[in-house]
Structure 1
Amino acid sequence: MPSLPRYRRTLLLPWLLLIGIGVFAAEPRPFDARYHLEVDGWPHATIEHRLSRDGTQWLSDMRADITLAQGREHSRFLADETVRSLHYTSGYSLLGVGKRYALDREALARLPDRQAALFELSRRATAAQCAAPCRLRYLDHRGRETLVEYRLLSRTALSLPAGEFEAVRVEVTEPDEPDRRLRFSFHPGVPGLMLAMEYHRDGKRRSRLSLTELDLPPR
């Protein structure tokens, strides 16, 4: 990927996250979601996120399209008591220059990719079984192990373009970057479904993600 300041890369990829030990898991459900992303200094963007089922496996596909940049991630994983990643691919382009990455089952044997981790984080947040700070690990798009911390925030009601929701909230930080925080709002009954996200740096909000459309098939 072309060189960008670290916080710019984080804003273009708001789905990067983490995983930990297993918890009581909510039943996965397929969904199609669309978001509006506002980023300081960048054109606004649309992000699409789809979770679908393929037999006993789950597929998570997320893509972003901005005037200057495009990105996509695709993850295949099992979702039992814990999430087990099977395969991960991603690709990004900026001003016509891009790169692709892939992680196979062998690379993902010990830790999950970040798409599968996002799914599991929402289940852990809903279960509320961790006292802050919780320390978790995952593999980034290049297969590098990353350590982050998260803490659970109080639930809140959100009024979004897609409707009215109760939200389970989580704040995520990296130990060496305490001034940079990602605050996620998840749907309490649909694992992996983000309702909103905010990125804060130096005490100021730098970006915001909001759910604008949701297709949630009946059980």
Structure 2
Amino acid sequence: MLANSPVLPCWTRLRRPVSLKGLSRGWLAALALMAGVAHADDSTLTSTLMPPVTFTAQYTLALDGWPDVPITQRVSQSGELFIASMEASIKVASGYEQGRFTLDGDTLMPAGYRSGYRLAGIGKDYTREAPSKQDAVLPDRQTLLVILSQQTDAQWAQGKCTAAVPCSLDYLDHKGRTRTLMYEIQGEESLQAAEQTFRTLRIDAWRKHRDQKHYRIWLAPRWPGLMVALDYLDYEDNAPGEDPEVSAHLVLDQLSSSRR
């Protein structure tokens, strides 16, 4: 994933020449959804939050002009520790991202992060330990997926996060820099994928100060962190009011979980 986007960083540049650093992170962009803690009115959420559940999901990422990319996402548990991870690999590039968290009631507490990106065998790794008490407690991008699913379900029930008043999330990128994600909940939809039917919430998300790069995401609240589908849209070269073509699309192929 590219450093300058919370969701699918490199997708914004796949039609033009990209740097080694940009492309290698780009494959993980598919993996790296925005992590965050709600800035916006999370204290007013009264709906019961769906607890995390372990699962393994297989996706295909279709990129305009590039080979399809297989992606594996997992939420696993070891004692009190949860691990949210994604990994992708093709012949010339690979990447992984892993966020760890614990539960304090309904609150997800970050407990460490690591990631790595490779292109033709060249790349870099990033590691962050659990925050100390004096540190800002902001989650990584993988933990965000779990939090986002939980919060949007409660926010949708209360009519929050609209186009008129979008919600915001603060998160830490792979280098530990604070970023802000904006999003609105556009509706509830029933989607078929991985040989089953999912209740999903469709959200439109963008990073603050980069509002031309949008990510339309269908989240499945019963499996916090699971994406049933995702589209990338770049409005940079489009006329006002005109929707761009989808240049990248993520689809869920398989899901294994104890929750039905």
Q: Same fold (TM over 0.5)?
A: yes
Q: Give 1:20's aligned amino acid.
A: V
2:172 is the counterpart of 1:139 = yes
Structure 1 pair 11/172, CA: closer, same or farther in 2 (3 Å)?
A: farther
Q: CA deviation at 1:127?
A: 1.1
CA RMSD of aligned residues (A): 2.4
Name the structure where strand makes up a greater proportion of residues.
Answer: 1
Gaps of 5+ in 2: 4-8, 14-21, 236-243
**Within-5 A mapping of 1:104-115:** 104-106=129-131, 109-115=136-142
2:171 touches 2:179 (CA, 8 Å); kept in 1? yes
Q: Quick one: distance in 2 between partners of 1:17 and 1:68? A: 25
Alignment match, 1:81? 106
Alignment match, 2:256? 215
Q: Give 1:164's aligned amino acid.
A: T
2:73 is the counterpart of 1:49 = yes
Q: 1:7 aligns with which of 12, 18, 40?
A: 12
Tell me the matched-pair count. 219
Q: Give 1:211's aligned amino acid.
A: L
**Within-5 A mapping of 1:1-219:** 7-8=12-13, 12=27, 13-14=29-30, 15-21=32-38, 22=42, 23=45, 24-79=48-103, 80-106=105-131, 109-128=136-155, 129=158, 130-132=160-162, 133-202=166-235, 203-218=244-259
Q: CA deviation at 1:218?
A: 4.5
1:83 touches 1:117 (CA, 8 Å); kept in 2? no
Q: Quick one: distance in 2 between partners of 1:217 and 1:131? A: 31
Q: Quick one: distance in 2 between partners of 1:59 and 1:154? A: 29
Q: Give 1:7's aligned amino acid.
A: T
Task: Provide the identity percentage.
Answer: 32
Identify the range of structure 1 (15-24 vs 128-137) with the bigger mean alpha-carbon deviation: 15-24
Q: What's the TM-score, normalizing by structure 2?
A: 0.77
Q: Give 2:153's aligned amino acid.
A: T
Where do 4+ consecutive residues of structure 1 move more than 4 Å? 1-6, 8-11
Which is higher, the Rg of structure 1 or of structure 2?
Answer: 2
Q: Quick one: distance in 1 between partners of 2:113 and 2:223? A: 22
